[in-house]
A and B are shown apart, each in its own frame.
Chain A
Amino acid sequence: MAVASIQVSETPLVLYTLRRADDALILGHRLSEWCGHAPMMEEDMALANMGLDLLGQARELYAYAAKVEGRDNDEDKFAYLRDVRQYRNLLLLEQPNGDFARTMVRQFFYAAFADLYWRAMMQSSDPTLAAIAAKSEKESAYHVRHSSEWMVRLGDGTEESHRRAQSAIDDLWAYTGEMFHLDDSERGLIGAGIAIDPAKLHAPWLKTVSGVVNEATLALPDNNWMQQGGRDGRHSEHLGHLLSELQSLPRTFPGATW
């Protein structure tokens, strides 16, 4: 590719913000892949809608990361000119769409977390992050409602939909632990009241998830081994393909603005 990747000064606040921005962009991108191919037109609308919410969150977070970093990076440089190892999103969110059940389980696991996360972040001592949280919480509340309703319909629908939903839960479960993980770079931010401790969200998350999964006549796996690495740029093989598509134009045409 003709255009090189940017350098990022990953101070704790820049890194923290980029991690959340990458989450929103990568999941938003995955949802946008459905556009025109959903099981019904209403879902084409809903998936695009949630994709747009997430893209909006990503843009605000990238803009803030750029401001905090204070170099000449911007939302597009962060999105289009970092390679796989520089991306900081959760592994869960880069997992391919698969069938509709897999997309909905991924959405549900994440939205149930994001809603709690953004609600807690509304108390952040960082006014920009608190404002982004207030907007994002409203959006993620809808994402939880939408995906919960599908969880129940798929789990308690037909034999086939039950089987597909259960298989998606079994395959994606190992990626949920990373949402609650904490590293040293975030501890200082938590101490300063800028970030929140995600471990505290695990119990309420599990309560929501178990409730919906039970209602859906589905089950959570016994295996609690959890995958990690996305926050440090150790991704699954899927992310590289996503980025090669996402970044193809800015990487191919140096100096072009669009």
Chain B
Amino acid sequence: MYTQALNTSDGDNSHIEDAARSANFQARIDADERIEPNDWMPAAYRKTLTRQISQHAHSEIVGMLPEGNWITRAPSLRRKAALLAKVQDECGHGLYLYAAAETLGTSREELVDLMLAGKSRYSSIFNYPTLTWADIGAIGWLVDGAAIMNQIPLCRCSYGPYARAMIRVCKEESFHQRQGFEIMVMLSKGTEEQKAMAQSALDRWWWPVLMMFGPPDKASQHSDTSTKWKIKRFSNDELRQKFVDATVPQAQFLGLTIPDPGMKQNANGNWEYSAIDWEEFNQVLAGNGPCNRDRLAARRKAHDDGAWVREAATAYAEKRKQRQHAQAAE
């Protein structure tokens, strides 16, 4: 029921991806032209983008869960409205991104099924639990902050629908980031218990957030072709460093301590961080994070519990169509 009318052009004709078309495609990319859904594109470009955009969409949808965990417990009506609106924005981003992925020829339904089957990933960060209200601040400040670092360059991505989606998503994310930081400001100016809550959230989220930028450049599988196709414009390590440099002064402003005693500023002004525990990252990707099972179970439950509603909507639409046909025939 989710499939849009699509003008797909890959698959069967991939054997005629001749050298001339590939060269022409690359020339367009090099000239910073946007690739649009009905343009010819190499099958691998389509596949890479479908993977990336759908993973991004899944992340928005699964990302509703850790924050949704605090909507009913938000500590003031203003915070409650802001959080509900924020999580709703994420759902909107998910919808928008699935639509962008559909322009590449795979339906939202198929993409969602892959995620529910555990065959398509979402961001590792959402496999960590939100234990206190400060986690809602930390997610906005750090997770959305990291997401913005990743996504601003995607506004210039070579694939038009993705780039345009990112422009809108980034505007909302930057609002979310400021909201999260404001929660942290309130907590860090608050009671001793609130300050401790804020520090604990930073302690728990810092390293997983650094992992959000993906494996170190020397180990990244997808970077080379993605860079050539201008899907990716900065390396994982470059973006991670940018994020750390932007975040350290913010933590200082809050009076919080980044949980990396070895961190130091070098002569160029960059903050050098200690080694990241990539084993933890790999374990989370392998399904062994603290919440992987809970997150997938929650999405599957919503999907399964909602099946009869979606069936009812389809059945009603079918009945209505038949009645209209019958009326027209009279």
On A, residues with C-beta under 8 Å from B are 25, 29, 32-33, 35-45, 48-49, 51-52, 55-56, 58-59, 62, 75-76, 79-80, 99-100, 152-154, 156-158, 160-161, 164, 245-246, 248-250, 253, 255-258
Chain A residues closer than 8 Å to B242, beta-carbon distance: none
**Chain-A contact segment, one of B38-46, B64-72, B209-217, B243-251:** B64-72
Contact, CB under 8 Å: A52 / B81: yes
Measured CB to CB, the closest approach of chain A to B254, in angstroms, equals 15
Chain B residues closer than 8 Å to A157, beta-carbon distance: 311-313, 315-316
* Interface presence of B75 (CB below 8 A): yes
**Chain-A contact segment, one of B153-161, B167-175, B188-196:** B188-196
Assuming the A-B contacts A44-B88, A161-B309, are A257 and B71 also in contact, with contact meaning beta carbons closer than 8 angstroms in the complex? no
Chain A residues closer than 8 Å to B88, beta-carbon distance: 35, 44-45, 48-49, 52
Measured CB to CB, the closest approach of chain A to B214, in angstroms, equals 25
For the A-B complex with A52-B88, A157-B312, A158-B315 known, give 19 more contacts whose Cβ atoms are closer than 8 Å: A36-B302, A37-B301, A39-B306, A40-B306, A42-B95, A45-B95, A52-B81, A52-B85, A59-B81, A76-B76, A153-B316, A160-B308, A160-B312, A161-B312, A253-B191, A253-B194, A256-B194, A257-B190, A258-B76
Chain A residues closer than 8 Å to B305, beta-carbon distance: 37, 39, 99-100
Contact, CB under 8 Å: A256 / B77: no
Contact, CB under 8 Å: A156 / B77: no
- Residues in B280-317 with C-beta less than 8 Å from chain A: 298, 301-302, 305-313, 315-316
Contact, CB under 8 Å: A62 / B77: yes
Chain A residues closer than 8 Å to B92, beta-carbon distance: 45
Measured CB to CB, the closest approach of chain A to B133, in angstroms, equals 6
Question: In whole angstroms, what is the CA distance A245 to B79 when docked?
Answer: 15
CB < 8 Å A-B pair total = 140
Measured CB to CB, the closest approach of chain A to B117, in angstroms, equals 18
Chain B residues closer than 8 Å to A258, beta-carbon distance: 75-76, 79, 133, 183, 186-187, 190
* Interface presence of B91 (CB below 8 A): yes
* Interface presence of B202 (CB below 8 A): no
Question: In whole angstroms, what is the CA distance A62 to B64 when docked?
Answer: 29
* Least CB separation from A101: chain B residue: B309
* Interface presence of B165 (CB below 8 A): no
Pairs across A and B, CB under 8 Å, 19 listed? A33-B71, A35-B68, A35-B84, A35-B88, A36-B64, A38-B302, A39-B302, A44-B64, A48-B85, A48-B87, A48-B91, A58-B77, A62-B77, A153-B316, A161-B308, A161-B309, A246-B72, A255-B191, A256-B191
* Interface presence of B139 (CB below 8 A): no
Question: In whole angstroms, what is the CA distance A75 to B196 when docked?
Answer: 27
Chain B residues closer than 8 Å to A35, beta-carbon distance: 64, 68, 71, 84, 87-88, 91
Contact, CB under 8 Å: A249 / B302: no
* Least CB separation from B187: chain A residue: A258
- The 8 Å CB contact of A245, one of B64, B72, B98, is B72
* Interface presence of B178 (CB below 8 A): no
Chain B residues closer than 8 Å to A253, beta-carbon distance: 191, 193-194
Chain B residues closer than 8 Å to A38, beta-carbon distance: 302, 306
- The 8 Å CB contact of B77, one of A75, A154, A248, A257, is A75
Contact, CB under 8 Å: A36 / B77: no
Question: In whole angstroms, what is the CA distance A156 to B322 when docked?
Answer: 13
Question: In whole angstroms, what is the CA distance A44 to B79 when docked?
Answer: 19
Contact, CB under 8 Å: B309 / A40: yes
Chain A residues closer than 8 Å to B193, beta-carbon distance: 253, 256
Contact, CB under 8 Å: B306 / A100: yes
Question: In whole angstroms, what is the CA distance A258 to B316 when docked?
Answer: 46
Question: In whole angstroms, what is the CA distance A246 to B80 when docked?
Answer: 10
Chain B residues closer than 8 Å to A257, beta-carbon distance: 186, 190
Chain A residues closer than 8 Å to B72, beta-carbon distance: 29, 32-33, 245-246
* Least CB separation from B191: chain A residue: A256
* Interface presence of B73 (CB below 8 A): yes
Measured CB to CB, the closest approach of chain B to A175, in angstroms, equals 22
Chain A residues closer than 8 Å to B180, beta-carbon distance: none
- The 8 Å CB contact of B311, one of A36, A158, A246, A249, is A158
* Least CB separation from A248: chain B residue: B73
* Interface presence of B319 (CB below 8 A): yes
Measured CB to CB, the closest approach of chain B to A75, in angstroms, equals 5
Measured CB to CB, the closest approach of chain B to A149, in angstroms, equals 9
Chain A residues closer than 8 Å to B312, beta-carbon distance: 153-154, 157-158, 160-161
Question: In whole angstroms, what is the CA distance A184 to B129 when docked?
Answer: 50
Contact, CB under 8 Å: B133 / A249: yes
* Least CB separation from B1: chain A residue: A40
Chain B residues closer than 8 Å to A29, beta-carbon distance: 72
Chain A residues closer than 8 Å to B53, beta-carbon distance: none
Contact, CB under 8 Å: B73 / A245: yes
Measured CB to CB, the closest approach of chain A to B324, in angstroms, equals 14
Question: In whole angstroms, what is the CA distance A38 to B190 when docked?
Answer: 36
Measured CB to CB, the closest approach of chain B to A22, in angstroms, equals 12
Question: In whole angstroms, what is the CA distance A129 to B67 when docked?
Answer: 34
Chain B residues closer than 8 Å to A56, beta-carbon distance: 81
* Interface presence of B94 (CB below 8 A): yes
Chain B residues closer than 8 Å to A51, beta-carbon distance: 84
